[in-house]
Amino acid sequence: MEEVQEIKEEVREIRIDNFDKIRILELDACTNCGECIKWCPVIEVAPELTLSISPPAKIRKLKKILTAQYGLRRILFGKKDNFFNRLFKTPTITKEDIEHFVTDIYACTTCRQCHMVCPAHIETVELWERVRRSLVDAEYGPLENHKALILSSRAYDDPWQQPRSNRARWTKVAKKEGRIKEVPKTIKLPQGLAPPNPPIKRKF
């Protein structure tokens, strides 16, 4: 019987150049105190996701990915230093690991509550946004249900697939209900400067 060799799917690298030195150092600043977990609105409505979407959990996963792909401490202290290669065994990372991490990262609402209560003052939202940027650069993001929003934003400058001419329509209703005194004037760009509303193409 012929041996079937398992072919592992290539794992694309997460760009580390989207992280500055402060963001990298903050990965080691987390003390896992759990204070952020008490205040996270996502965990409040979905406590079963605590072990995957909590800030400490996401930081641990990010460190594992970066260490597996680059060697985080080697980036900080120079690529020519092989000390960490001898001291630490570089962990392996799979595509499934990264895909789970992507889902966890996008579960965050970036409300900034975790930063406000963090005793180490980690800029968590800045960190999550840079992670998302790196995931998109590596073509792991955005999520499938985000693509329609992106296409709409490109076509209409809004995520609701509504033409720009409808933006001020709510003001007429608001004036009729007495919520505003006057309907604000619509600012129109000179002819030729206003971008058209192109049809949304489902090719991403």
Alpha carbon 148 to its chain centroid, in Å, reads 17
Look at residue 86 in the predicted model and tell me its pLDDT: 61
Residues 131 and 66 in one domain: yes
Instruction: Convert 43-80 to b/e letters by CB count within 10 Å (16 or more is b).
Output: beeeeebeeebbbbbbbebbbbbbbbbbbbbbbeeeee
**How far is it, in rounded angstroms, from Cα 136 to Cα 35?**
29
Helix 124-137 and helix 55-69, axial crossing angle in degrees, nearest 10: 40
Condensed to tens digits (0 to 9), the pLDDT of residues 147-170 reads 888 888 888 877 878 887 777 788
Residues 98 and 157 in one domain: no
pLDDT grade, residue 78 (50/70/90)?
A: very low
- Can you tell me the mean pLDDT for 126-147? 89
- Can you tell me the mean pLDDT for 173-192? 74
Q: pTM to 2 decimals?
A: 0.66
Look at residue 119 in the predicted model and tell me its pLDDT: 93
Look at residue 67 in the predicted model and tell me its pLDDT: 80
**pLDDT over 60 at 99, yes or no:** yes
Look at residue 121 in the predicted model and tell me its pLDDT: 92
Q: Which domain holds residue 122?
A: 21-141
Count: domains in the chain: 2
**How far is it, in rounded angstroms, from Cα 133 to Cα 96?**
19
Q: Answer whether residue 3 is part of any domain.
A: no
Look at residue 192 in the predicted model and tell me its pLDDT: 54
Which of these three, 88, 108, 141, is where a domain ends? 141
**How far is it, in rounded angstroms, from Cα 89 to Cα 67?**
10
